[in-house]
A and B are shown apart, each in its own frame.
Chain A
Amino acid sequence: MSRSLTPVNRVGVEERAAALGRRSIKTTAKREGIRLATSMIDLTTLEGSDTPGKVRHLCAKAVCPDPSRPELPSCAAVCVYPSLVGVAAAALEGSGVAVASVATGFPAGQTSLKVKVDETREAVAAGASEIDMVISRDAYLRGDDRTVAREIEAVKEACGSAHLKVILETAELPTYAHVRHASELAIAAGADVIKTSTGKASSGATPGVVLVMLEVVRDHFERTGRVVGVKAAGGVSTTKAALHMLVLVKETLGDEWLTPDRFRIGASSLLNDLLMQYAKLDGGHYGRAEDFSKE
């Protein structure tokens, strides 16, 4: 099976993405940026050692990230493994924070389509309103786009009314051209959101990858008018990196995309850095990690 890739200028993409990270964002703009980034976080815990207690702590933190600063917005969602969706759904009921669940054999995706679909149905039934699926990189790297598309369509159907985020795991794709192609493939197959990474690979949401994906979304919107979201996940762990993402979004897709409905940041340690930087703007003194709870 042959596929035609739209070439992507690697140097140009990386140069532009890096240039957009060099802005000086201070005081009022930084404060607003931190608030916006906080509201876009999918607060994530995807460890084998996750327990209901840990997930409940995380949910409380997502609803009210810093009890001493109630003016800070809630996070967008809490992202957990399917087995903990019920716990998260109960903890977040009525809070406005969504429950997201990874599914489809996360993070490798090396299970059969039937298992993937069943896992998705189970997570949705337990209360997940957002599903983060991984594409089958095995099929994608073999060039079997049809299998990849069919899987996304099947999982989308299993999602019902739940939002589907499709993880491309860009660290395992060889070039930006493949990132672009896979993004287009996922969008055509019905993805509501395209997401960079699982957070389990060697690299995550690099600025270049995010820029390429944002451009695909922009091109698709201009062509069809359909809104697709983007989620940057993996490696976005500092306020500086998060603000860089917001600049990329604003300069590529404009202000309309600067909402949690259309752009998300998947992260766990980012939130504490945001809170620490926000406290610095308030208190004047530089903070320390142990002032903020880990969960």
Chain B
Amino acid sequence: MSARQAVAKTYKLYLGGAFVRSESGRTDPIGGVNVPRGSRKDVRDAVKAARAAAPGWAKKTAYNRGQVLYRFAEALESRSDRSDEIDEAVDLLVHYAGWTDKLAAVMGGVNPVAAPFLSFSSPEPTGVVAVLAPDSPDVLGLVREIAPALAAGNTVVAVVSRTKPLRPLDLGEVAGVSDIPGGVLNLLSGRLDELLTPLCGHRDVNAIIDATYDDDVAKTVDELAAETVKRVSRPSPHTDSLTRLEPLVELKTAWHPVGS
């Protein structure tokens, strides 16, 4: 019997719930396989998909979002290529699944005011969040940043690890078979110098999580964010959950007249 012919996998971007090649048709050979090299058009398509998915994801009840994130964790748990890093990523997803219905109580509430009003604040999703994932750890580094963004009700466009993009792109397949709605999570691979300007300069992106730990990237991101008025957060791997979640919501405060 002849030796079995191995089936090489075509790695693809995860955009709007679909697995697609880069619109530009380009690839970069990484680790012996061709990885899609995302273009600015891919960025635009991803932001469009994320924006379109944003109202639906934000409107889901916190309880439901938690269930979906938990399901995402379950799907990741069932992968065959488990490791300590993947286990930690699963635990993180479960952790943030638990955060979804606690955000309002922790961040919002009734404000004490010295006037005959009822004043209360509640956190709302900030919208479309761009995530610049670190090069390493490839999966855990990505999950650490997308999980709080999704838990807070945002939709995400993430640029995955540039040096090790294969397993992060596989994470798209995990999301694809979980209950994450199409467009809520979008994963791009490619070169940071090409993707940074169209993504961080896109007016329809509301916040940026920069986890590249790179000073040159930070400078470019800050300039683009200032030009287009968006919030930038730079969590370290050890940043606690609440500090991660805070820049990903907008607090809405309402004043209600109470008679008497």
Contact = CB atoms under 8 A, between A and B. Distances in A.
A286 B43 CA distance: 10
Interface in B27-47: 44, 47
Contacts of B201: 284-286
Contacts of B227: 285
A223 interface: no
A291 interface: yes
Interface in B178-204: 198, 201-204
Interface string B196-224: 00100111100000000000000000001
- Chain B interface size, as a band, is 10 to 19
B67 interface: no
A288 interface: yes
Q: Is the interface of B mostly helix, strand, loop or mixed?
A: helix
Contacts of A286: 44, 47, 198, 201-204
Contacts of B202: 285-286, 288
A287 B227 CA distance: 12
Contacts of A289: 51, 204
B146 to A, nearest CB: 22
B241 interface: no
A288 B51 CA distance: 9
Nearest to B198: A286
Contacts of B224: 285
Contacts of B203: 285-288, 291
Contacts of A287: 203-204
B228 interface: yes
Nearest to A286: B202
Most buried by A among B47, B203, B204: B203
A242 to B, nearest CB: 18
A284 B201 CA distance: 8
A287 B202 CA distance: 6
A285 B197 CA distance: 8
Contacts of A285: 201-203, 224, 227-228
A284 B202 CA distance: 9
Most buried by B among A286, A287, A288, A291: A286
Interface string A65-91: 000000000000000000000000000
Interface string A281-295: 000111111010000
Interface in A5-57: none
Contacts of B198: 286
B177 to A, nearest CB: 31
Nearest to B200: A285
B70 to A, nearest CB: 32
A287 B204 CA distance: 6
A218 B202 CA distance: 43
B37 to A, nearest CB: 20
A265 B51 CA distance: 27
Most buried by A among B51, B198, B201, B204: B204
7 closest cross-chain pairs (CB), A and B: A288-B204, A288-B203, A286-B202, A285-B201, A287-B203, A285-B228, A285-B203
11 contacts: A284-B201, A285-B201, A285-B227, A285-B228, A286-B198, A286-B203, A286-B204, A287-B203, A288-B204, A289-B51, A289-B204
